[in-house]
Amino acid sequence: MNFQAVRSIYMFEMARMRRTLVQSIVAPVLSTSLYFVIFGAAIGSRITEIDGVSYGSFIVPGLIMLSILTESISNSSFAIYFPKFTGTIFEVMSAPVSFVEILLGYVGAAATKSIIIGTIILATASFFVDINIAHPLVMALFLVLTSVSFSLFGFILGIWADGWEKLTIVPILVIMPLTFLGGTFYSISMLPPTWQTISLFNPVVYLVSGFRWSFYENADVSVAASLGMTISFLVACLLIVRWIFKTGYKLRS
């Protein structure tokens, strides 16, 4: 394992976050805080509690997950797409580093950024509502697994995309709707039975549900199912990345 190579890629990506601090940290935290204030004030005045939890507190895990998903995909996809766009990816590919080391550097940095943002949002939300983390270790596990999984997905997206339009079309047209329909602002038990069944085909439901359970022990699906879905997605992304580097898909001209 070439730890120096991993450290170089990782530190380079983390340095980019420091150079663009407003865009990387302040903007997502501010936008999520606005979601919290608007939804908490507008809907919270009409829905006082869900499963014994105040609505303002109930939406906190969903908002954190929303931010983690979008930021993980955005950070990792741009991190690998930009070297492709400029041609510097070929220098990395020709260096004596394996795909594991490249992956650890790029995906590790993207996941770290997402975890930092999620932690800041959690701390910010605590100023507005009372937050009780019933299972902090489970919360940390879901936070890390989700950040890594969707950073891997963003890495795949960045390799697949051959233009800026493709880089943004999946997060906007696929991930964002799935997130909003995945129980971020509500419990799927509030939906009609037919829509509850349809919602179970949305993978984001499992992520939000498992993460919310770690806070309030309230879940739309079992924690085991949530954890299994997250790990399955992680493994699937790893297998796809392995295939990409093995075949050189869109990495070799």
What pLDDT is stored for residue 44 in this prediction?
A: 60
Q: What percent of the chain has pLDDT over 90?
A: 31
Please compute the mean of the pLDDT values over residues 86-107 and round it to a whole number: 81
Confidence of residue 111 (pLDDT cuts 50, 70, 90): very high
Q: What percent of the chain has pLDDT over 70?
A: 95
Return d(Cα 151, Cα 48) in angstroms, integer: 35
Please compute the mean of the pLDDT values over residues 238-251 and round it to a whole number: 87
> Which of the two residues, 150 and 189, has the higher pLDDT score?
150
Cα–Cα distances in Å, from 234 out to 15, 90, 144, 156? 26, 26, 11, 12
Asked whether the predicted pLDDT for residue 29 surpasses 90, the reply is no
Confidence of residue 8 (pLDDT cuts 50, 70, 90): confident
Asked whether the predicted pLDDT for residue 41 surpasses 70, the reply is no
> Which of the two residues, 73 and 248, has the higher pLDDT score?
73
Please compute the mean of the pLDDT values over residues 165-170 and round it to a whole number: 82
Q: What are the domain boundaries of the chain?
A: 3-247
Asked whether the predicted pLDDT for residue 134 surpasses 80, the reply is yes
Asked whether the predicted pLDDT for residue 18 surpasses 80, the reply is no
What pLDDT is stored for residue 42 in this prediction?
A: 67
In this structure, how many other beta carbons lie within 10 angstroms of the beta carbon of residue 180? 14
What pLDDT is stored for residue 107 in this prediction?
A: 93
Asked whether the predicted pLDDT for residue 253 surpasses 60, the reply is no
Cα–Cα distances in Å, from 242 out to 96, 99, 156, 237, 245? 17, 8, 10, 9, 5
Asked whether the predicted pLDDT for residue 250 surpasses 80, the reply is no
Q: What's the DSSP call for residue 188?
A: G
Q: Please name the residue that has the structure tokens 């805080």.
A: 33
Please compute the mean of the pLDDT values over residues 209-222 and round it to a whole number: 91
